[in-house]
Structure 1
Amino acid sequence: MTRRSFRDIHGILLLDKPLGLSSNQALQTARRLVGAAKGGHTGSLDPLATGLLPLCFGEATKIAGWLLGSRKAYEAEVRLGVTTTTADLEGDVVETRPVPSIDAGALDAALAALRGRIVQVPPAYSAIKQDGIPLYVRARRGEAVDVPSREVDVYRLDVLEHDGDRLRLHVECGSGTYVRSLAVDLGASLGCGAHLTGLRRLWVEPFMAPTMVTLDALRDAAAQGPDPLDGCLLPVEAGLAHIARVELDVAQTRVLGFGQPVPLGQGAIAGRCGVWGADGRLMALGEVGDDAILRVSRGFNLPPS
């Protein structure tokens, strides 16, 4: 295949990340196929995880960090009775214990303790950095790793299937939650230990019912030219679908264009918003204060549609 040149392209790709690739490997592969000069992802998936990985190209990278904090949903597979060094299949087995007979009531009680606002200890083998070094690097060196606990939100944690020592769970959680740690804590509560054997991300807010694109589909589109490739991307504004939309008139558009706060007057709703100019172009991610004044958080420099 001929070397693809990079271009200024702006949009969001809802990638179905394949098994075995890191999030950065998946991003760089997709970026080369799309030919985007600039790209970023909105939160890592472990190599053993599959599913939705929103990728942002061009001006969409300005909302990538903001989307990191979005609510997410997963389907998780857990094996009871075995703990590993990494809390998943990649690690060495630490301990094997018999799995007790667990009825639905006991299982739900154990899961109930893991719902809501909880304190969680992330895995030692994680990308969290201490002194600029990822914890997994320290762990692989054999260094003692002291992982600080954190508060996270688990909105849903439900059993989809229970067969002996195997569980399939539906998880909805907030930013920073480690499903591997949920598996470990569940195993500890049941008295037999556990680890994660499979994980698929189903959605990331605001992409609640995503049509995902595989790397193979992206390769097929790349072979056909730029138009099919561009058809795989969502517009930047798709990443703002779950927040308020503010449309400016001509005078307000001019004020915002000079980088000045814009008084919106009565009826303005406080909070984060997407801002569109009088010409219909997305101009900014903004925040409306209690004083009904719009202030820009991030500005966009999108070409005319």
Structure 2
Amino acid sequence: MEQAINIFSDGQVLLINKPLEWTSFDVVRKLRAQMKIKKVGHAGTLDPLATGMLILCTGKFTKRINEYMAQEKEYTGTITLGATTPTYDLESEPENFKAYDSVTPAQLEAVTKQFTGEIMQVPPIHSAIKKDGKRVYELARRGEHVELEARKITIREFEFTNIALPILHFRVVCSTGTYIRSLANDVGIALGCGAHLSSLCRTRIGAFTIDKAMTMEQAQAMIKEALAQ
């Protein structure tokens, strides 16, 4: 048993396909308890309504978390036109409904170009960013006024892979620190009809791709087998 536990305490990198409605910490907590070690962390939070690539580092490999977090990310998902939400995704109810049927393919093409390259982006107020030592989402939930400064990010690729109004299927390749929820909201502002993120999957972090990731069930079976050896 001691030898098996050391497999994880000595350091492992696990690629997990995070399930829908799980927090990133839910994944860490579940697998950490099964590994019976204390040092397990993830390299980049995914919102509960997002799925996809979550890198878990165990034991001595937790020192690599910042290295993985800094790497380029790729996402796919859907943006829904015609309404905004306070959280910029479906964690909150759509509001401010507007007509979207006048949006043209040319406008959509222009929007992808507008948000490609080095741009300034304001993070969502419903995010885990700290301001004055407090998480801004906690302030926002209490109804307090929150103002965040724009941050410089890089979106290397942005395309709509399928258009079925009001749904826009997209693919984005971006730098760390990019909020896809904010991008969806900004697309809605640029088009004049409002928009929110309606689904999201992280498909790549650096060289790690989603097809190499384990489901939670696969990860738990792998850990169980390792501990039994």
Note whether the superposition's TM-score is higher than 0.5. Answer: yes
Amino acid at match of 1:34: M
**In the TM superposition, what whole-angstrom CA distance separates every residue of 1:168-190 from its partner, at most 9, and x where no partner exists?**
10000001000001101111111
Letter of the 1:182 counterpart: L
Q: How much has 1:224 moved relative to structure 2?
A: 3.5
- Aligned-partner Cα distance in 1 for 2:164–2:71: 32
RCO (CA 8 Å, sep 6+): is it higher in 1 or 2? Answer: 2
Say if 2:135 is the partner of 1:130. Answer: no
The structural deviation recorded for 1:222 is: 3.9
Post-superposition offset of 1:111: 1.3
Separation in 2, partners of 1:127, 1:37: 23
Q: Mind listing any 5+ residue stretches in structure 1 that lack a counterpart?
A: 229-305
Q: How does 1:8-19 map to 2 (within 5 A)?
A: 8-19=9-20
The DSSP-based 3-state class of the residue aligned with 2:63 is helix
Contact 1:9 1:37 in 2 (8 A): no
Corresponding residue SS for 2:145 = coil
Helix, strand or coil at the partner of 1:200:
strand
Counterpart of 1:37 in structure 2 is: 38
Pairing of 1:62-77 with structure 2 (within 5 A) = 62-77=63-78
Q: Supply the AA of the counterpart residue of 1:68.
A: M
User: Would you say 1:52 and 2:17 are equivalent positions?
Assistant: no
Structure 2: which 5+ residue stretches go unaligned? none
| Partner amino acid, structure 2, of 1:177 | T
DSSP 3-state at the match of 1:161? strand
If you compute each CA radius of gyration, which structure gives the higher value, 1 or 2?
A: 1
Q: CA deviation at 1:206?
A: 2.8
Question: 1:270: which partner in 2?
Answer: none
Alpha-carbon deviation of 1:210?
A: 4.7
**Cα deviation, residue 208, structure 1:** 4.1
TM-score, normalised by the number of residues in structure 2: 0.92
Aligned counterpart, 1:214: 215
Q: Is residue 9–residue 36 contact of structure 1 (8 Å, CA) maintained in 2?
A: no
Are the aligned partners of 2:88 and 2:181 in contact in 1 as well (CA < 8 Å)?
yes
Q: Which has a greater percent of helix?
A: 2
Which secondary structure does the structure 2 equivalent of 1:50 belong to?
Answer: strand
Aligned to 1:104: 105
**Which digits, 9 at most, give the CA deviation of each residue in 1:25-79, with x for residues without a partner?**
1111122223333111111000100000000001111110122111000002110
2:95 matches 1:94: yes
Q: Which residue of 2 aligns with 1:291?
A: none
CA-atom RMSD in angstroms: 1.7
* Distance (whole Å) between structure 2 residues aligned to residue 59 and residue 117 of structure 1: 35
- Summarize the alignment of residues 15-26 of structure 1 with structure 2, pairs less than 5 Å apart: 15-26=16-27
Distance across 2 between alignment mates of 1:227 and 1:167: 47
Identity %: 36
In the superposition, the TM-score normalised over structure 1's length comes to 0.70
Q: Which amino acid aligns with 1:13?
A: L
Partner AA of 2:120 in structure 1: V
Distance in 1 between the 2:82 and 2:172 partners? 21
Match of 1:192 in 2: 193
2:119 equivalent to 1:118: yes
Inter-partner Cα distance in structure 2 for 1:87 and 1:130: 19
Mapped partners of 2:146, 2:222: distance in 1: 45
The 3 A distance-change label for structure 1 pair 49 and 35 is: same
For 1:103, give the aligned amino acid.
Answer: T
**DSSP-derived class of the 2:92 partner:** coil
Contact 2:52/2:210 (8 A) holds in 1: no
CA–CA distance in 2 between the matches of 1:62 and 1:210? 25
- Alignment match, 2:147: 146
Q: Report what 1:164 is aligned to.
A: 165
